[in-house]
Amino acid sequence: MTQDVTIKVQNLKKYFDLKVGFFRTLTSKSVPYVRAVDDISFTIKRNEIFGLVGESGCGKTTTGRLLLRLIEPTAGKIYFKGLDLSSINNQADMRRLRRKMQIIFQDPYESLNPRMSIFDIIAEPLLIQKLTQGFEDTRERVAEVLEDLEMTPPEEYIYRFPHELSGGQRQRVAIARAFIIHPEFLVADEPVSMLDASIRSEVLALLLGLVKKHHSSFLYITHDVALARYICNRIGVMYLGKIMEQGNTEDIILKPLHPYTEALISAVPVPDPTARRSEVVIKGEVPSAINPPPGCRFHTRCPYVMEVCRKKEPKLIEVEGNRYLACHKYNA
Amino acid sequence: MTTFLSKGKREIYSRKIKGFWKEFSHNKIGLFGLLLLLMFIGMAVFAPWLTPYDPLSNPRVAESFAMPQWVAILPQYQDYPQTMRISPYWEVRNGSEFVEIRPGREVEARFSMTGEMKLVVISLNTSFFYPHDVPPKRFTVLFQWRATNVTNVFYSAKLHLINPNGTSTRIWFWPYKGFSAGQSVIVESSDRWLLVDLGYTDPKAINLAHIIFANPTKGQYRLIFEAAFRPTEDAKIAEAKITIQTFEFVVPGLLHGILGTDAMGSDVFSQLIYGSRLSLIIGIMAAVISTSIGVLVGVVSGYLGGAVDEGLMRVVDILLCLPMLPLLLTLVKLFGKNVFYIIIFVAMFGWLGLSRTIRAQVLSIRETTFVESAVASGASKPYIMFKHLVPNVAPIALASLVLSVPAGILTEAALSFLGFGDPRVPTWGKMLNYAFGHGAFENFAWWWALPPGIAITLICLAFVFMGFAIDEIVNPRLRRRR
Amino acid sequence: MVLLEIRDLKTYFHTMRGYVKAVDDISLKLNKGVSLGLAGESGCGKTTTALSILRLLPWNGEILSGKILFDGVDIVEMSSEQFRHQFRWKRISAIFQGAMNALHPTIHIGDQIAEAIVVHENVSKKEAIERTAKLLDLVGIGASRIDHYPHELSGGMKQRTVIAMALACNPDFIIADEPTTALDVIVAAQVLKAMKELQHKLNLSMMFISHDLSMLAEVCNKVAIMYAGKIVEYGDVVSIFKEPLHPYTEKLIGAFPSILGQKRKLSSIRGFPPDLLNPPLGCRFHVRCEYATDICRTTEPKMTDAKGTEHFVACHLKGV
């Protein structure tokens, strides 16, 4: 493992047990489970921004939480700078690890404790990690990170409560909270999708600025392919718990190889009424993750489906330089 | 945990409080409740200034079942007398050269004789005006007297009460004795022996007051105190000194105070005022304890889940099925009638419902992303519970706290009313218990029976109104986003 | 021919602190068979406009002045009974945001659609069910699902159910408020495609309300951009996107990333929308506009057709 790989995910799986009624547990042999994440692998290098793109229910949000150990994986391994995360089993080590990873959530209204002041919210990671040397030190660091996010003068914000700020301001506070402890790895789950379009770019710019300043690796989770193009160096396209295609963003967007990626890209609207687009030809909707289709997950909707697709699952293999694909059409 | 410049912390808290007050002040019912509560708190705090009587010592201040003073507005009660306490100023009526009398409120009579011994009688008198047409139900004469330096003499004393008609009744006498003595005398007009002495053998002749204060009732009455000195025959020197102190002629009125008197003649108003202290203390303490337990159990159960959650909720289920009042009565019988036990028992039952509510809230709060953020930063479970969960359930807990104060008050009142209360503390429940047990009904003493019930109702209303107002502010359905 | 004309509409909300001027003097026209996009960010007044047309304002909302002429008839003036009888759902119907969550969970979708028909028209239940079956075929769900419950359908199908409900009484005009925001990308594309086809087939007029300019670019013939209760630009979709005149429009379009073409920098606008209780004097956008001049701060610009190409803009700089 090279030194500049921050995150390495190998064959990660997460199955959620479904809650069923009392009698079903007695009568049925096994409890059904949702295969939210079903054997995915990828790496994120230092200073790299990796995007996980997909529609709802594809497992991207679950993956983000798995990387931060907010949920425990069912199987598979996650390595953070060479350290196997499943080997950490005491609280003290876990806490030290958490200092290096942070997450920013989608909903700016929910991710801030409504009863805490902005100052308390931003300073919280410092206090939990015991990284501060007293009040003045804390105050300075809060002011510093607020300046990075162009929320000055800090006094105007630190005494306020979340309900007094706008959506964009709240999200900046969430970003401030994530960066105050200088994390080496950051996960952002749709950080701007609930903000107005005209302020998204500004918030993203500030976020990316901080990522660069702290040389963090960044996992950006989104359903917005167009936005992923602007932010991510590399993306992975997820469908029903699996990564279908992975590689450099521009390559994938301009020349999608996997039929699903193709369909996804052609379905994304563009702000140009004169653009000629290829038609979306796939039909139907995403199947259930409790009983996913056998063989290739996408075969039920794929316009190029072949016999082998129904039986055998394609492996994610490298087809070109740094481009990975899981599709029988190309593996022939 | 984060304390930076105290200015900042103060500013944050003051904004929270101001925000809350702004919302609360819109709610008229809540304000009314608050007003009532402030009135009761004022009652409790300023009790010693509001009433001169201490209900714990329970002095008799007026007639039993005396009505409140303000009843005199009504024509049929206009003439009812209030308590009269007379400390008269004695004057010499019949003196003697052998007796040095010092008159006044306190009387001293010094008898000194040498040479020829003969009988000497002295008397003092005083008078007072009885202004009512209605005779008192009774009267009481209290005084302390002492005979000292008694040498070679026999002395006796008498007290007469003379009504405006001139009829004289001897209400007290001390037969000839030759030695020093002293007594605290209480002459009650209802005293059987006195009546018999005076010749009223009819067992139905209840009271001397009706007999003396009649035909006419209104007028000038006189008291005569007579002392006789009979020296021994062949004494050379005879001496005696008789002193009378703290003489009081008390006619308990038929009207008294703001709320009249009870069966023992004690002031009801002071019992009511001092009762507010107990009600507030009991109610608030029980509410605070039960709310604290409820929040603790709810948060721990909701956040930790699993076996802890199951276990605690089963305990709650079991306790909820127990019948509270019978159990309380049994516990009181077992452990004794102590007001602190009552508080604890009430708190023991009060937290059950709240723990369920808090647990439900916690189940939803723990899934929020701000809790997840804290976990992602490395927060421990206790940190999450106390820094994030408790503050976010605090508003609901506050509403519940205020609403559960009446429970404690009412339970204590019920227990006291049934006779299971702490006999040492003057509570409204105890007042009700005494009222019903000592003839409030029979004597139609509404001023004794109603006020404690009304007071309990009002103080519970105060908390309920405030609690509903807080609940409206705090309830998630009204929480505004954006 | 003009189907819908809004003239100088003002819809305000009463609050304790005064009037919130949600829609403040807007005018626009919509021809038959044309789809209009009403674009803007949160709080600009687009949903209030839709509610005003449908006369479904909440209790504290009021149309203070202005006319809404539908097929020549002023629907602001008429009584609510008359509007309900003659217009609502019969001639103007709506699809609201997240409407799939507004489906009754314990009634078959067929019954829910049939209910819409029976309530507004005097037909038997049997006939209503027949029409429902046809509608389900029309929107692509298939008549076989007429007895399904909403939870048995996927998100896209639920949205199509709602579309079928909107079409139940053969309206002339449908208002769709964020019809695809709650849907996945591919499903949204399918639903939009279906809506476009329906529009052609039934010669419907539609008003799409959305903050997503990319979506509007795909689906609308005309676009109106709203900001702080006012329409700042209005015209043909190609004209608006290719030659945006108003500074706000320019920035707004630039804020949407594109997967086609060269990767360009996304634009953003400093500050945030004004308080609609006390909007600023002059042009509502002047506080955030980089071209603002003195006249912008004092005088409100009027909508003018600067080049005579039916491309209207309300801007002192660009509207001359």
Model confidence pLDDT, tens digit, residues A162-175 = 988 988 999 999 99
pLDDT tops 80 at residue C224: yes
Q: Give the pLDDT confidence score for residue C320 in this predicted structure.
A: 65
Q: What is the pLDDT of residues B323-381, one digit of tens each?
A: 888 888 888 888 888 888 888 888 888 899 899 999 999 999 999 999 999 999 999 99
pLDDT mean over B46-52: 83
CB-CB under 8 Å, A105 with B372? yes
The DSSP call for residue A144 is H
Find all residues with CB under 8 Å of B72, minimum gap 6, and list them. Answer: B78, B80, B255
Say yes or no to pLDDT of A142 above 80: yes
Nearest chain C Cα distance for residue A254, angstroms? 8
**Alpha-carbon gap, residue A219 to A223, rounded angstroms:** 13
Query: How much is the pLDDT for B481?
Result: 40
Give the pLDDT confidence of A16-55 residue by residue, as tens digits.
988 766 666 566 667 788 899 999 999 999 889 999 999 9
The separation between CA B187 and the C-alpha centre of its own chain, rounded to angstroms, equals 27
Angle at C30 between CA C25 and CA C35, to 5 degrees: 120
Q: What is the pLDDT of residue B203?
A: 66
Q: How far is CA B232 from CA A270, B123, B158, B181, B239, in A?
A: 136, 21, 20, 18, 11
Q: Which of A94, A95, A110 sits opposite B368 (nearest CB)?
A: A110
pLDDT higher than 80, residue B107: yes
What residues 150-169 of chain A have any CB closer than 8 A to a CB of chain B? 158-159, 161, 163, 167
Q: How far is the C-alpha of A19 from the C-alpha of A213, rounded, in Å?
A: 44
Kind plus residue range of the DSSP H or E element containing A42? strand A33-45
Mean local confidence (pLDDT), A101-119: 92
How many Cβ atoms from other residues are within 10 Å of residue C271's Cβ? 12
Q: Is the pLDDT of residue C20 over 80?
A: yes
Closest Cα in chain A, distance from residue C254 (Å): 9
A200·C255 Cβ contact <8 A: yes
Q: Do A273 and C218 touch (CB under 8 A)?
A: yes
Which among A198, A220, A224 is the top mutation candidate for probing chain C, defined by the most C β-carbons within 10 Å of its own β-carbon?
Answer: A198
In this prediction, residue B468 carries a pLDDT of 85
The answer to whether A124 contacts B377, with C-beta atoms less than 8 Å apart, is yes
- CATH match of A5-100+183-269+281-293 with 3.40.50.300: yes
Question: What average pLDDT score do residues A220-244 get?
Answer: 93
Per-residue tokens: A257:
């190889």
Q: DSSP label at C99? A: G
Touching check for C255 and chain A: CB below 8 Å? yes
CB contact under 8 A, A270 and C217: yes
Show which subunits contact B, needing at least 3 CB pairs below 8 angstroms. A
CB-nearest to A199 from C157, C261, C268 is C268
Our CA-based measurement puts residue A161 at a distance from the nearest CA of chain C, in whole angstroms, of 18
pLDDT (tens digit per residue) in C123-180: 888 999 999 999 898 888 888 889 999 988 888 888 889 999 999 888 999 999 998 8
Contact yes or no for B376 and A107 at CB 8 A: no
Domains and CATH numbers, chain C: 2-91+173-279 (3.40.50.300), 103-170 (no CATH)
Q: How far apart are CA B127 and CA B137, in angstroms?
A: 20
- Distances C230 to C61, C206, C227, C252, C268 between C-alpha atoms, Å: 17, 20, 5, 15, 20
CB atoms within 10 A of CB B220: 11
Across the interface, of A99, A112, A123, the residue whose CB is closest to B378 is A99
**What average pLDDT is seen over chain B?**
84
- Determine the pLDDT at residue A26: 64
The residues with which B159 forms a beta bridge, in sequence order, are B172, B225
How many CB atoms neighbour CB B38 within 10 A? 11
B84-251, what's its fold? Jelly Rolls (2.60.120)
Q: Residue C297: left if φ>0, alpha if ψ -120 to 50, beta else—which one?
A: alpha
- Other Cβ atoms less than 10 A from the Cβ of C269: the count is 23
Q: A100 touching B, CB under 8 A?
A: no
Mean pLDDT, rounded, for B417-441? 85
Between chain A and chain B, the number of residue pairs with CB atoms below 8 A apart is 88
A-contacting residues in B 341-370 (Cβ below 8 Å): 368-370
Mutate to test the interface with A, among C44, C214, C259 (most CBs of A within 10 A): C259
Structure-token match 């994304």, residue found: A268
Reduced to 3 states (helix: H, G, I; strand: E, B; else coil), residue A74 is coil
pLDDT of residue C9: 93
Identity of the highest mean pLDDT range in B330-339, B412-421, C206-215: C206-215
Q: Is A111 on the interface with B (CB under 8 A)?
A: yes
Place of tokens 């995403």: A286
pLDDT interval class at B101 (50, 70, 90): confident
Span of B207-211, C40-44, C82-86, C112-116 with lowest mean pLDDT: B207-211
Q: CB–CB of B377 and A98 under 8 A?
A: yes
Is the pLDDT score of B414 beyond 90? no
Residue A140 in contact with partner chain B when CB distance is under 8 A: no
- Predicted pLDDT of residue A23: 65
Query: Which residues are CB-neighbours of C203 under 8 A, at least 6 positions away?
Result: C32, C33
C185 contacts on A by Cβ (under 8 Å): 55, 223, 225, 264, 267-268
User: Angle, to 10 degrees, between the axis of helix A259-267 and the axis of helix C185-202?
Assistant: 50
Residues 6+ apart with CB under 8 A from A76: A9, A10, A11, A12, A13, A39, A40
B307 Cβ under 8 Å from any chain A Cβ: no
- Which residues neighbour A112 within 8 Å (Cβ) at sequence distance 6 or greater? A121, A162, A170, A173, A174, B370
Mutate to test the interface with A, among C34, C226, C268 (most CBs of A within 10 A): C268
Q: How far is CA B314 from CA B297, B308, B322, B324, B353, in A?
A: 12, 10, 13, 18, 13
Residues on chain A touching B383 (C-beta within 8 angstroms): 128
> Where do the domains of chain A lie?
5-100+183-269+281-293
- Which DSSP symbol is given to C280? P
Does residue A61 sit at the B interface (CB-CB below 8 Å)?
Answer: no
Pairwise CB contact (< 8 Å): A197 & C213: yes
Interchain CB contact of B482 with A (< 8 Å): yes
| CA–CA gap between residue B331 and residue B348 (Å, rounded) | 12
pLDDT of residue A171: 95
Encoding tokens for residue A51?
């995007």
The two tokens of residue B41 are 């708190």
Q: Are C257 and A220 in contact (CB under 8 A)?
A: no
**Residue contact B8–A124, C-beta within 8 A:** no
Q: Of the candidates C42, C156, C238, which has its C-beta nearest A196's C-beta?
A: C42
pLDDT at B4 over 60: no
- Which chain A residues are closer than 8 Å to C184 by Cβ? 55-56, 223, 286
Contacts across the A-C interface (CB distance below 8 Å): 118
CB B39 within 8 A of CB B276: no
Which has the closest alpha carbon to A127: A108, A114, A142, A115?
A142
- Distance separating alpha carbons of residues C301 and C286, to the nearest angstrom: 11
User: Is B17-59+266-478 in CATH node 1.10.3720.10?
Assistant: yes
Residue B378 has its nearest CB partner, among A113, A128, A136, at A128
**How far A265 CA lies from chain C's nearest CA (Å)?**
8
Q: Is B480 on the interface with A (CB under 8 A)?
A: yes
Q: Where are the alpha helices (DSSP H) in B25-166?
A: 28-45, 47-50
Q: Among A51, A46, A97, A43, which residue's Cα sits nearest to residue A70? A: A97
| Mean pLDDT calculated for residue range B112-138 | 83
- Sheet (strand C92-95) strand order: C92-95, C173-177, C205-210, C35-39, C222-227, C230-236, C312-313, C304-305
User: Least CB-CB distance to A227: which of C41, C251, C257?
Assistant: C257
In angstroms, the CA A263 to CA A283 distance is 10
pLDDT of residue A3: 65
Tell me how far apart the alpha carbons of residues B388 and B377 are, in angstroms, rounded to a whole number.
13
Burial class (CB in 10 A: 0-12, 13-18, 19+), A232: buried
Which residue of A159, A164, A181, A195 to mutate against B (max B Cβ within 10 Å)? A159
Are residues A278 and A254 in contact, defined by beta-carbon separation less than 8 angstroms? no
Q: What percent of chain A has pLDDT over 70?
A: 95
Minimum mean pLDDT among A218-222, B15-19, C197-201, C313-317: which range?
B15-19
CA distances from C58 to C14, C52, C93, C212 (A): 10, 10, 18, 25
Chain B residue numbers with beta carbons less than 8 Å from the beta carbon of A163 are 480-481
Grade residue B477 by pLDDT with cuts at 50, 70 and 90: low
What is the pLDDT averaged over residues C66-82?
89
pLDDT band at C121 (very low <50, low <70, confident <90, very high): confident
| Contacts of A among chains (3+ CB pairs under 8 A) | B, C
Q: What is the separation, in whole angstroms, between the first and last Cα of chain C?
A: 28
Residue A113 Cα, gap to closest chain C Cα (Å)? 23
Is the pLDDT assigned to residue B278 strictly greater than 50? yes
The C-alpha atoms of residue A328 and residue A244 are separated, in whole angstroms, by: 11
SS3 labels along B140-165: EEEEEEEEEEEECEEEEEEEEEECCC
| 8 Å CB contact between A306 and A290 | no
Q: What is the CA radius of gyration of chain A?
A: 21
From chain A residues 58-87, the ones with a CB under 8 A of any chain C CB are none
List of chain A residues whose C-beta atoms are within 8 Å of the C-beta of residue C156: 285
Q: Give the closest-approach CA distance of A33 to chain B in angstroms.
A: 20
pLDDT of residue A1 exceeding 60, the answer is: no
pLDDT value, residue A22: 64
Residues from chain A that touch C213, judged by Cβ atoms under 8 A, are 197, 271
Average pLDDT over residues B95-103: 85
For residue A79, is pLDDT > 60? yes
Q: Where are the domains of chain B?
A: 17-59+266-478, 84-251
- List Cα–Cα distances, B316 to A247, B294, B301, B325, B356, in angstroms: 56, 10, 11, 17, 8
What count of other Cβ atoms lies within 10 Å of the Cβ of residue B472?
17
Q: Does A275 touch chain C (CB under 8 A)?
A: yes
A183 confidence band (pLDDT: 50, 70, 90): very high
- pLDDT recorded at residue B3: 47
| Identity of the residue in C187, C190, C253 whose CB atom sits nearest the CB atom of A271 | C253
Contact in structure between C188 and A224 (CB atoms under 8 Å): no
Report chain C's mean pLDDT, rounded to a whole number: 89
Partner A contacted by C243 (CB < 8 A): no
pLDDT of residue B479: 47
Chain A positions touching C193 (Cβ under 8 A) are: 280
CA dihedral for A154, A156, A158, A161, sign (positive or negative): negative
* A14 sits in which H/E element: strand A5-17
Smallest Cα distance from B370 to chain A, Å? 4
Q: Which pLDDT score, from 0 to 100, does residue B6 have?
A: 62
Q: CB–CB of A181 and B377 under 8 A?
A: yes
Q: Give the C-alpha separation, C39 to C57, whole Å.
A: 20
Which pairing describes strands A217-222 and B84-86: parallel, antiparallel, or unpaired?
Answer: unpaired
H/E run at residue B324: helix B324-335
Minimum Cα–Cα distance from B370: chain A residue: A111
Q: What is the DSSP string of B214-261?
A: -SS-SEEEEEEEEEEEEE-TT-SEEEEEEEEEEEEEEE--SB-TTT-B
